[in-house]
Amino acid sequence: MGDIAILYEADHDMRAIALETSLVNQATAYPVDAQPCKQAGLKTIIFWGHGDEHALCGKTADAIYRLIKEWKKLNDGLDTIEILTCNSAHWRPSTDKADRAKRHWQSQLTHMGSKEINDSFNKQIKRALKYSSHGSLKKIHVKGMPFSGQTGHKNTVSILLWDKDTSTWALIPGRTITGRSDQVMNWKKQMLIIKMKPPPLIADQAWEWYDGENLSGPLPDRLAKAIKLHAAFKKNHKFVNPKDPGPNAADGREFLAIDFSDCLAGSIHDLRNVLVEIH
C-alpha cells in the first residue's frame, strides 16, 4: 500500500487516482470521508480538493486537523501533510478585530506585535498542529502550494488547473480585487483552457488567434503557447482607438500588462516538488 495516503474530494477522484498510479506502489487513494485506517509504513497524507482560506476538500481547518489526528492515532509514523489545491497559500485579512482574536489565539506567540495574521489554509493547519496539546502532532511537517513571487499571498488567489488526458497541471496566481473576481487571472486561465475571446477590447480588429476551440495537449506546452500568443498580440495589435477609447480601454491596458512569469506548470510527477514547507 506504500507510505503515502491520498485523501481526495469526490470530484477530484480521477486526478487522485492518476497521482496514485504515478507513485507506483507508494500510495493509496481514499475519499476524504473514508474511515481513517492503519496503512503499513504510512508517512505522508496528501489532501487534494477544492480550497481557499475557509475550507479544503469541503472541510474547515478544524475538521482537517481532527482528521489528521485520527489518522495519526492509527499510524504512528505519519510525519508529513501535503496540501494540493487552489488558494491554500492565499488569504484575505479579517476586518473584525474580535473575530481575529478569537480565531487566531494559537498564533499569538508567533505574531506578537503584528496587526495582521497570515490566515492562509496552509498556515491554519500548521498552527493547529504546532500548538496542539498532543505532542505527537507538534512535529508533523506541513507542505502547501507556494506563494507567488509576483503577487505574494495576502489578498491574492490562485487556480490549480488539471488536464486529465495528459496528467499535467498549471498553477495560475492572481490578485484579489474586493467585490469582484480577478479578470487578469481569468484571462490567463482561459488562454490555457480555451482560445477564448473576452469582451471587445479592440477597436480595429479581433484577436487573430481566436478560434473558439478547446485547446489540447500538456499544460506546460499550452502555457508556452499562451506566452507567445500574448507577446505577438502586444506587438501586432492596438487595443483602443486613441480618438475614441470607449469603456473598455482600461481592460485593454490591463490585458496588455499580463505577466505569465508567476505561473507554474508540469507533469503529475512534478506537482509535489513545487510544494514548500510551511513554518
With 0-12 / 13-18 / 19 or more C-beta atoms within 10 angstroms meaning exposed / middle / buried, residue 136 is middle
Residue 3 to residue 77: CA distance in whole angstroms: 9
pLDDT value of residue 276: 93
pLDDT value of residue 232: 75
With 0-12 / 13-18 / 19 or more C-beta atoms within 10 angstroms meaning exposed / middle / buried, residue 37 is middle
Give the number of C-alpha atoms closer than 13 A to the C-alpha of residue 263, restricted to the C-beta side. 27
- Mean pLDDT over the full length of the chain: 81
With 0-12 / 13-18 / 19 or more C-beta atoms within 10 angstroms meaning exposed / middle / buried, residue 188 is buried
The answer, yes or no, to whether residue 244 has pLDDT greater than 60, is no
Q: What is the largest CA-CA distance in the chain?
A: 71
pLDDT value of residue 154: 80
Max avg pLDDT among 16-30, 85-99, 225-239: 16-30
Give the pTM.
0.85
pLDDT value of residue 202: 43
Residue 54 to residue 112: CA distance in whole angstroms: 23
* Residue 214: alpha-carbon gap to chain centroid: 23
pLDDT top residue among 192 and 17: 17
Quick one: average pLDDT of 216-241? 79
Give the number of C-alpha atoms closer than 13 A to the C-alpha of residue 7, restricted to the C-beta side. 22
Q: What angle do CA 82, 84, 90 make, to 5 degrees?
A: 100
Quick one: average pLDDT of 158-173? 93
Residue 4 phi, psi dihedral angles, 5° rounding:
-125, 135
The answer, yes or no, to whether residue 246 has pLDDT greater than 90, is no
